[in-house]
Amino acid sequence: MADSKLFSGRIEPMGGLSNENELAKECPADFKNSHNPWTNYACHLFFEGANIGNWKWKSTDKKEKSKQLKFLHGLLSGFGLGHAEKEAVAGWMLSEMLSEVPEHVPS
């Protein structure tokens, strides 16, 4: 089960999450490194998008996967955090959502 803190709060109507500043402060240091594979993948998602068909989800529950994907999209579509913070938190989210870092396949 993914860290509930990452997938709580509210997705804001114009993008972003109601708790994204808190998440950015609590984000583990290893995700704040651009060489982290999860953060690197999050960067590709943010700038290039991706076909997510090769994702290996930790959860098998469709509702949970949909919720997690909505929160990830909410975070990436917001304007409240700088790019580095947004990518670090997104990398952290992805590490909780997926069982392995996927190969980036552009959309």
Q: What is the pTM of this model?
A: 0.92
Residue 17 lies in a domain: no
Q: Work out the average pLDDT over 54-78.
A: 95
Residue 8 lies in a domain: no
Is-contact 9 16, C-beta < 8 A?
no
Residue 9 lies in a domain: no
Question: Which residues form the domain of 39?
Answer: 28-107
For the chain, the farthest-separated pair of C-alpha atoms sits apart, in whole angstroms, at 32
pLDDT digits (tens, 9 = 90+) for 74-96: 999 999 999 999 999 999 999 99
Q: How far is CA 6 from CA 1, 33, 48, 103, 106, in A?
A: 11, 19, 23, 23, 25
Q: In this predicted structure, which of 4-8, 26-30, 67-71 has the lowest mean pLDDT?
A: 4-8
pLDDT digits (tens, 9 = 90+) for 25-54: 999 999 998 799 999 999 999 999 888 999
Residue 69 lies in a domain: yes
End-to-end Cα distance, the chain: 28
The values of phi and psi at residue 17, to 5°, are -120, 150
Percent of the chain residues topping a pLDDT of 90: 80
Total domains in the fold of the chain: 1
Q: How far is CA 78 from CA 18, 58, 72, in A?
A: 10, 25, 10
> Cα separation of 93 and 23, whole Å?
10
